[in-house]
Homo-oligomer: A and B are copies of this chain.
Amino acid sequence: MPHSDEVFTALASPTRRAVLALLLDGPKRVQELAEHFDMRRPSLSEHLKVLREAGLVSERRSGRFRFYSLEPEPLREVADWLTPYERFWREKLTGLRDLLDEEDGL
């Protein structure tokens, strides 16, 4: 069970958020992930390690390959953390909506 510290820290990197987004499509090999980033493979490996330790991805070995899969459960901690604030931006949003009806793309 990952501590939420590790989860928030893992999400702080745009690269790591992009990895998670790629995994929304389904499990991927490291190489397949690496193609999307302008960085050497070992660097990506380290990002994957951070994600693994936060519990946000899991690894399955298959022959020479390792498939990484999304493990979104820790994100629930983020959603839960967000809950008490939700009320506030909703208030702000509805106030704004009267004035800027089309601006907030929702």
Contact = CB atoms under 8 A, between A and B. Distances in A.
Interface of A: 5, 8-9, 11-12, 14, 17, 20-21, 24, 26-27, 60, 62, 67, 69-70, 72-73, 75-76, 78-79, 81-82, 84-86, 88-89, 92-93, 104-106
A81 B17 contact: yes
How many identical chains are in the complex? Answer: 2
Nearest to A92: B73
Contacts of A17: 8, 81
A70 to B, nearest CB: 6
Contacts of A79: 79, 82, 86
A80 to B, nearest CB: 9
B85 A20 contact: yes
